Amino acid sequence: MRSNNLFQVFMPVLCFLLILTSGNVAAQDKRGKKEEISITSSFKPSIVKSGKLEFQAQTPPKDTTAYRLSYPMLPIQFTTPMSSFMIKPLSFQTTENQQDKEDVYAKLGFGNLSTPFASLGLTARKAKEQFSANLDHISSKGKLEDQQYAHSSLNLGYKNTLSENRVARVYAGYDRQGYRLYGFDHVVNPGLPEADLRQNFSNFHLGAQYDHLAAENGSMTLKPEFRADFLTASRKQSEFAFRLAIPVSYTINETLKVAIAVDAQLANLKKGTQSNQSAALVQVPLSFEYSPSSFSINGSIIPVLKSNKFNLLPNLQFDYSLSETGVKLKVAAVNKLDINSLHKLYAINPFLVSPDSLTTFQQTDYFAGIEWLSAKGLQLKFNGGFTVFNDMPLFINGEGTGKEMKVLNETQLTAIKLGGEVNYTFTPEMEFRSSINMYVFQNQVSHAAAYGLLPLELKFGLKWKPIKGLTTRVNADFWRGAISRSPGMPEKRLKDAADINLGVDYKFNKKWALWVDLNNIANIQYQRWNQYDSFGFNFIAGLRYSFTKAK
């Protein structure tokens, strides 16, 4: 029997959440007054940082909320079942309201893994202008030899509300991440050169966005944006990536909306003295949305130019609402494309060596699903279907010591997929969210197995504000291990695992706040990537001080 069994850890946590849920549902029914509940806050993804290495099932999609211009485009947008390997303390979260609020603050902390943490921020307003600056740093050193990590970043932003219907923004930033390749036997392979163990990524980015509402009643929208990234990495590697998007939409009437967009991407990778590798992707979706009272149809034809080849891809989604029950049925066939750039791949697995060539990833989903949104804040989402992945990146341990992960290109991989979410807003002070993603991988063309991909992942989260000024967060991830392969060794499946985290914030007043994170509190020594053990239990705690005059 495996000592690190997924379900031995999962069942007590699930029972606790069910007991907590039932108690709060009863309390919900006793409320006598009508409230407005923000459902989106129960499942809105957020970007956070932490003192431990962990992962997310999916990279958050590009933000489309009203606060889209309050922060830069996400540098990573990669829709695959691969999981990221990220550092993220639960308590280090900034909501949209906080980011839009004028403030000057410092947040400092320290943890048991020699973990200094510092975050300095500035948001200032002048008439219709807004200036922002953020400087962050965190580093950790694990118990294993060469198990360490460091991350520093500087981000600058400027926003100008030109008029009631026009907003412009420019931003720039620098981000550096440093790792050590510790995933090898130090006894069998002693004295490896330090240069061979360094794994550094430094990225400079800049971009601009412009939002314009035009025509009568703002029926036409124009939202051009661009972003450029220049990445340098260890072993004389560098990559330039550029993206330009020009979406235009027009609302004909209350039920019909049409749109056209130009979305162009370019990536160029240089590896030492080797010839440059490049990839370009241009998409021009022509789409419409037809939404009468009980159903809606979203469709598009996407002319695509990739690798000097032209193709037409269709997207179609049909939604049907069952009167006033809150139930919605969905049927869809959708395509998504992206370049497998080094920018995107190292965010998923930072222990990799650069790919031999740049390819264009394509994912085609055929699914049917059901959603239910109750008036009391319960939201259910379930779907099932079939997915086809083309040019999917897989990861195995490289030759030699196996400390580096090699990128394989799977020409075509098919899978049966089941997914779902259960989210509940008990009260404005308590929110619960959960999700499941399961893949049953089927036929493959180029390789024997789906190396590095998680076949099953469960995620739970609970946010609770029991008293004024106190916020607690519990996050739990459970997953089935991926199949791995090492040089000279047979294939194996990594152990099932769990990662449970607790974060606490307490705001003393408008100036001072205390925060504490407990990460991997079950101290499970899992491996997300073969030979790379987790950091185990770790904590980080500190204070936040606002220099802004209290109002």
Average pLDDT over residues 380-390: 97
Lowest mean pLDDT among 37-41, 155-159, 349-353: 37-41
Burial 213-224 (b: 16+ CB within 10 A, else e): beeeeeeebebb
> What three-state secondary structure class fits 216?
helix
- Tens of pLDDT, residue by residue over 52-75, are 333 333 333 332 222 222 222 222
197 contacts 181 by C-beta, under 8 angstroms: yes
147 contacts 59 by C-beta, under 8 angstroms: no
Task: Tell me the H-state helices in 128-257.
Answer: 194-197
Per domain, the residue ranges of the chain are 6-205+326-546
- Tens of pLDDT, residue by residue over 133-142, are 999 999 999 9
Per-residue pLDDT band at 89 (split at 50, 70, 90): very low
Q: What is the mean pLDDT of the chain?
A: 83
**Joined tokens for residue 541:** 């705690």
**Joined tokens for residue 86:** 């990220």
Instruction: Provide the terminal-to-terminal Cα distance of the chain, rounded to the nearest Å.
Output: 59
Please determine, looking at this structure, whether the domain spanning 6-205+326-546 carries the CATH number 2.40.170.20. yes
pLDDT over threshold 60, residue 463: yes
| The pLDDT value given to residue 31 | 36
> What three-state secondary structure class fits 195?
helix
Sign of CA dihedral 78, 82, 86, 88: positive
Helix, strand, coil share of the chain (percent; to 5): 10, 55, 35
Amino acid found at 133: A
CB atoms within 10 A of CB 187: 7
Measured CA to CA, the distance from residue 103 to residue 30 in angstroms comes to 39
- Tens of pLDDT, residue by residue over 330-346, are 999 999 999 999 999 99
Transcribe 398-418 into DSSP letters.
Answer: -STT--SEEEEEEEEEEEEEE
Average pLDDT over residues 147-153: 94
- Tens of pLDDT, residue by residue over 217-231, are 889 999 999 999 999
Measured CA to CA, the distance from residue 112 to residue 140 in angstroms comes to 9
